[in-house]
Structure 1
Amino acid sequence: MEIELNKLEQRADACVTYLVFGNRTTIDLTSLQLELVLFDDQGLIQQRLALEAAPLAAGKTSVKLFEVAGTRCEQIGRILVNGVGACSSAEGALTDCLQRIEPSSRLSTKLFK
């Protein structure tokens, strides 16, 4: 599962994060709850987010937008994929979703695990 940080866009008092998900598996994900931790340029934790990224169809690329309220985009130095809270398909829970994630970024803001 590829996850690319593609764009950060400032809107009023929130930073909108554009993530591109490439589900290169043969499994339709009905749930993918990600725990993300945002750090500033100094390495200090700014915020923790829990996001639901599903549904993600098998073999498909999808763009998901997430709003980070009360945050300026320029305050985000890097984003950690800290964990996966839930990951499942129609057949049930999957246990190795964090290991399947391949994070990348097109920005100077790094997305990593």
Structure 2
Amino acid sequence: MPHFRSAFLAALSLTIAQGAAAETPAATPASASPALKVELNAADTTEANCKLTFLITNELSAPLDKAVYETVLFDREGTVNRLTLFDFGELPVGRPRVRQFVVPQTTCENLGRILFNGAQSCDGAGIEAGTCESALAPATRTEIEVLG
């Protein structure tokens, strides 16, 4: 009987310790890097064109007066379809914006991947060179892969 009691007490102690650990808040990162979140939210084919809808949130420390990205569109087989510029315009801090771009003579079903190749321009007071590239956080809600 003493062996059963020892095992029971050990199990009870372990359960209490696990419960206390679960109540302890998880460590949070010291400070997350500011980001420029660019999400491909929708891709719709209209006639023979692909309309891409992006949701952009500027989490940088300053508003952007202009953000233009060189973008590479790939087909489903991985071949470059075209290089183009996506001008996201003015992006205030912390306020999501939606931008749409029509890609002519291409259906969305033909697109497999979008690559943000680099920032062609990134202007804003206090914005350092390279910020729009280093802070880019691409995402997608579609079947089209988005990379940056």
Query: Which is bigger in relative contact order (C-alpha 8 A, separation at least 6)?
Result: 1
Amino acid at match of 1:3: V
- Distance of 1:72 and 1:84 partners within structure 2: 25
Partner of 1:94: 128
SS at match of 2:61: coil
Provide the TM-score with structure 2 as the length reference: 0.72
Q: CA deviation at 1:52?
A: 1.0
Indicate the structure (1 or 2) with the bigger Cα radius of gyration: 2
Partner of 1:71: 106
- Distance of 2:102 and 2:140 partners within structure 1: 17
Runs (4+) of structure 1 moved beyond 3 Å? none
Native 8 Å contact 2:62 2:126 kept in 1: no
**Higher strand residue share:** 1
Pairs aligned (count): 112
What is the RMSD computed on CA atoms of the aligned residues? 1.2
Partner of 1:14: 49
Q: CA deviation at 1:56?
A: 0.6
Provide the TM-score with structure 1 as the length reference: 0.93
Q: CA deviation at 1:47?
A: 1.1
Structure 1 residue runs of 5 or longer lacking an equivalent are none
Q: CA deviation at 1:92?
A: 6.6
Same amino acid, percent of matched pairs:
28
Q: Which residue, out of 82, 87, 110, partners 2:117?
A: 82
Amino acid at match of 1:108: E
**Higher helix residue share:** 2
